Amino acid sequence: MDKILLMFQLQNQLNCATNGDDWTKGVTKNGKIINWRRCIYMECAEMIDSFSWKHWKAIDAEPNWDNHQIEVIDVWHFIMSLAIENYSDTLRGGVDEVAISVSEYKSFSKIDIEDESFAPQNDVMDKVENIIRLSVSQDTLELESLISEFFDLVVMSGLNLESLYRLYIGKNILNQFRQDNGYKEGTYIKVWATEEDNVVMKRIWEENADIKPDALYKELAKSYASLTKS
């Protein structure tokens, strides 16, 4: 429960900082319409490119699981945002109420495990496409079904509650760093030397198991400063 609650709280804080305190009304502080469903299915489409799904190109290429796991975390950002918005719209409560509800879903037990094995890539892509279908649907949002499918995807992607939490915290810090360094204005450099910033963040986490979020931010800042000075 604690990890789920913290992730939802951090997501709300990030959305408030990025989009304004009234972001749950579906509009940013700059008047831009927010569509979390579109964010989910577009990110899912990108996720599929982590696999060699094309029958005409690189047919023997191995799945890029590292990239795929980062994409899973990105989708989680958007699913949590959609859930918070939905609870606000339906007057069911705020961030704490969403987190409590999600932690009580039967599907939550799926990710509270230690297994970190990968499912066959075709099965993973089928699961991603199920998430796309639920997010594209114009019917009433089936939030519990959407989250249940996502938790299936988490396990199939070699992740569990602990690794989902750690990667989410890392990506949350990276997103804050991006916003602080010109991401919205289009001046931020996303590829650091030959690597995407996502890859750098993930490696820092993996090489420093006990690193704190503020220390991670400082490490990112150090790497970025050396890049922009070169």
Residue 229: predicted pLDDT: 67
| CB environment 88-106: b (16+ within 10 A), e (fewer) | beeeeeebeebbebbeeee
- pLDDT tens-digit map of 83-123: 999 999 999 999 999 999 999 999 999 898 887 899 999 99
**Three-class secondary structure of residue 188 per DSSP:** coil
- pLDDT tens-digit map of 68-94: 999 999 999 999 999 999 999 999 999
With contact defined as beta carbons under 8 Å apart, do 155 and 118 qualify? no
Residue 230: predicted pLDDT: 54
Instruction: Find the largest Cα–Cα distance for the chain.
Output: 51
CA distance 106 to 195: 38
Assign a CATH topology to domain 2-169: all-alpha NTP pyrophosphatase fold (1.10.4010)
Flag residues of the chain having pLDDT under 50.
none
Domain boundaries, the chain: 2-169
For residues 142, 145, 146, 149, the Cα torsion angle rounded to the nearest 10 degrees is -160
- pTM for the structure as a whole: 0.87
Long-range contacts of 97-103 (CB under 8 A, 24+ apart): 98/8, 99/1, 99/4, 99/5, 99/7, 99/8, 99/9, 100/1, 100/5, 102/4, 102/8, 102/147, 103/1, 103/4, 103/5
CA distance 24 to 82: 9
Q: Say how many CA atoms lie within 13 Å of 188 toward its Cβ.
A: 16
3-state helix, strand, coil in the chain (%, to 5): 65, 5, 30
Residue 1: predicted pLDDT: 63
